[in-house]
Structure 1
């Protein structure tokens, strides 16, 4: 696990997500402008993922605006070796999930609303 983190409760939520959903291999929380907040990673550079996730979400938001398809919920990238998902945590933070080919997408969809809610509360408590 990456040692770069600012809040152990955030990392505990990330670790629980990895342990609960089959195929989740890396998780990163970042600010909307791409700064690292917390990470549960083994094989990626969390600072790079944080910056790229902010860019991906920005492009996704612009696409949603330009196509009049409503507010953006997430950005999903499917690759030959797995999945990358960027999800908004409120208005100022992002959760990036990296999953392998066996990612349990249905299981992830069941637990992600609660996970986002937990992260949002923890981030609000840190800011307050």
Structure 2
């Protein structure tokens, strides 16, 4: 797990994402196997969300393989009251973005590459296994 300084830096990146994108109501960083690392989210069961997000990304990758694709970077689920977007952070971690019905997907798509790069850099020195 990341040390306290790394966790604080991760939270700053997550807070910046919430501030930049209208409709983001929470974010979670987890390991690829579904263990919660840190979160900027209220009212969610962090461990369950981390595990389900890892399963969602894995299922998305497997579905893409069956369809002849590879390199899945994200899986988006839209529901009546909002969105859940699960994004790969390299091969070892993932980011889950919880959005309300007004989530600005265009802005999210524009800012997410830099966010993923920052998170990947911060996690690179830590052992997430």
1:63-98: per-residue Cα shift (whole Å, max 9, x none)?
011110232121000000000000000010000000
Number of equivalent positions:
122
Q: Aligned equivalents of 2:125 and 2:62: distance in 1?
A: 30
| Range 37-46 or range 83-92, more displaced | 37-46
Q: Aligned equivalents of 2:90 and 2:84: distance in 1?
A: 19
1:56: how far off? 0.5
1:95 and 2:95 matched: yes
Partner SS for 1:126: coil
Give TM-score scaled by structure 1 length. 0.92
Q: Specify which structure has the bigger relative contact order, considering alpha-carbon pairs within 8 angstroms and separated by 6 or more residues.
A: 2
1:125: how far off? 2.6
Determine if contact 2:61/2:70 at 8 Å carries over to the other structure.
no
Deviating beyond 3 angstroms after TM superposition, the runs of 4 or more aligned structure 1 residues are none
Q: Aligned equivalents of 2:71 and 2:126: distance in 1?
A: 26
1:126: how far off? 2.6
Q: Give the alignment's Cα RMSD to 1 decimal.
A: 1.0
1:22 and 2:25 matched: no
Match of 1:109?
Answer: 109
Match of 2:41?
Answer: 41
Match of 1:124?
Answer: 124
Give TM-score scaled by structure 2 length. 0.91
Match of 2:3?
Answer: none
1:65 and 2:65 matched: yes
Q: Following superposition of structure 1 onto structure 2, how do residues 1-12 of structure 1 map, counting pairs within 5 Å?
A: 7-12=7-12
Determine if contact 2:27/2:97 at 8 Å carries over to the other structure.
yes
Q: Aligned equivalents of 2:43 and 2:20: distance in 1?
A: 19
